[in-house]
């Protein structure tokens, strides 16, 4: 179903909200669409589940290098921000070395960046309950583009410097202010920007390296996550003993040999 179908449906839904007959018409229309639409005919499966040789749905691995969505300055701001959230320290590399900025950049380029699979037509609650989920018409791409511009404008007016030129202490204080909603950015919710970068940084640090972040599985090594393993029968009966197998990603690990 294309975006046009979706918005048409959404309009029909809004129109039908107050009237029983038009809601019925909408439901009938939807049913008709399901019946006549291509590729929706039910498939009967008997005896054995379908299986085809060579069937696989591989992810196209992210190739690091350059940015597809961010400008150079936006990337520098995001990288500096993320590095304060997960800094390199005695426990290991931080967000910068893990490739978190590349991860976020590629995610924003794809369907996540446009919230392609979310209902984005509104209405949006002004003071939503936490259970109401996303209540903004801004896609992640817009959140980053507008939010970083607002952050930079704020830094220019308050510090006469870019966010990237603040020292670590100043950055931490500013980030904490954004998180608590105490810093007011011009025309943009500081809390929304914080939430976006914070959420995506954590994702980029711990997602499979095939998506561009978690380089060399640094995130998994930090917390002792074994990666794409899914069978622990050999160790399940040995509690309180160290799990010694190294993490493995969707593309394997160095011991598998050159790719």
- What residues line the site for another protein (CB under 8 A)? 47-49, 51-56, 58, 228-231, 233-234, 245, 248, 250-253, 255-259
* CB of 242 vs another protein, minimal distance in Å: 16
* Minimum separation from the CB atom of position 249 to another protein (A): 10
Q: Which residues touch 163 (CB under 8 Å, ≥6 apart)?
A: 77, 80, 81, 151, 152, 155, 171, 174
Which of residues 162 and 228 has its CB atom nearest to another protein in the complex? 228
Report d(CA 199, CA 86) in Å as an integer: 12
> Measured between alpha carbons, how far is 173 from 214 in angstroms, rounded to an integer?
26
> From the CB of 117, what's the least distance to another protein, in Å?
24
User: In terms of CB distance, is 117 or 230 closer to another protein?
Assistant: 230
Q: Smaller CB distance to another protein: residue 76 or 235?
A: 235
Beta bridge partners of 227: 248
Q: What is the smallest separation between the CB atom of 63 and another protein, expressed in angstroms? A: 17
d(CA 218, CA 233): 26
CA 116 to centroid of chain Cα atoms? 12
Spatial separation of the C-alpha atoms in residues 259 and 252, rounded to whole Å = 9
Least gap, CB of 107 to another protein (angstroms): 22
């Amino acid at each position: 179903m294309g975006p046009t179908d979706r918005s048409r449906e959404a309009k029909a839904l809004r129109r039908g909200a107050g009237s029983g007959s038009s809601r019925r018409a909408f439901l009938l229309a939807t049913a008709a669409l399901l019946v006549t639409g291509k590729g929706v005919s039910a498939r009967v499966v008997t005896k054995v589940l379908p299986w085809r040789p060579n069937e696989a749905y591989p992810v196209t691995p992210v190739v690091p290098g350059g940015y597809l969505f961010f400008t150079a300055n936006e990337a520098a701001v995001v990288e500096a921000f993320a590095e304060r959230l997960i800094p390199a320290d005695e426990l290991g590399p931080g967000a910068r070395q893990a490739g978190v900025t590349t991860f976020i950049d590629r995610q924003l380029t794809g369907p996540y960046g446009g919230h392609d699979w979310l209902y984005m037509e509104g209405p949006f609650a002004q003071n939503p309950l936490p259970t109401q989920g996303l209540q903004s018409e801004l896609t992640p791409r817009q959140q980053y583009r507008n939010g970083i511009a607002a952050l930079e404008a704020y830094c220019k007016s308050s510090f006469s410097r870019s966010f990237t030129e603040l020292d670590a202490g100043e950055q931490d204080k500013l980030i904490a202010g954004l998180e608590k909603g105490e810093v007011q950015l011009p025309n943009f919710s500081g809390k929304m920007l914080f939430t976006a970068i914070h959420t995506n940084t954590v994702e980029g640090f711990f997602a499979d390296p095939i998506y561009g972040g978690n380089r060399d599985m640094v995130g998994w090594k930090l917390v002792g996550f074994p990666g794409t393993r899914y069978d622990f029968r050999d160790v399940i009966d040995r509690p309180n003993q160290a799990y010694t197998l190294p993490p493995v990603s969707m593309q394997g690990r160095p011991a598998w040999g050159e790719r």
